[in-house]
Amino acid sequence: MIGFAISKARRRVMDTVLQEQLLRWRRANRRLFFCGWALIACVVFSWIFLAFSSQRLQAYLLRPGAEERVILSKLDTAGPLSLREKKLLAVTKTLIIAPRAILKVLTIRFAQTLTMVMGIFVLGFSVWERKKLNLLQKLVETK
């Protein structure tokens, strides 16, 4: 009789501990779930912001870097240009300046895509964890 009472009390304590652990896991999972949605929302808002941003902002993002400015300033201060120098200037702008601007845009897009993938991963992980927690909750309740 005493052994039965001790095992019943032990089981009650274990159930309480399990319930508290489940509660902590649920709170952590809730934070994870909202974190995933927040990452996705940040990316969506950045896409909208860049899509509808002014030409001035886009020009700022795509402005030439320090090296390009040096090249352009040297070419600008050279005075009147011959046909050969004009062709060289066009090639310089095409081969040096345009790819760097494209690279900046691609870097922004890559960061957005990576953040979106992370958000989807976190969201999926939290949904998977929630299903596990629900199953664990059912197991605890059936004991």
- pLDDT at residue number 21: 77
Asked whether 133 and 25 are in contact (CB, 8 A), the reply is yes
- pLDDT at residue number 52: 67
| Residue 74, token pair as written in the block | 């040297």
- 65 sits in the region (left: phi over 0; alpha: psi -120 to 50; else beta) called beta
d(CA 59, CA 50): 12
Give the pLDDT band of residue 96 (cuts 50, 70, 90).
low
> Stretch 98-127: mean pLDDT, rounded?
78
Say if residue 6's pLDDT is above 60: no
Say if residue 5's pLDDT is above 60: no
Q: What is the pTM of this model?
A: 0.52
- pLDDT at residue number 32: 78
Comparing 39 with 11, the larger pLDDT belongs to 39
Say if residue 87's pLDDT is above 70: yes
Residue spans of alpha helices (H) in the chain: 2-52, 55-61, 66-76, 83-92, 98-142
Question: Per mean pLDDT, which of 34-38, 48-52, 75-79 is the most reliable?
Answer: 34-38
> Stretch 57-80: mean pLDDT, rounded?
65
> Stretch 17-46: mean pLDDT, rounded?
78
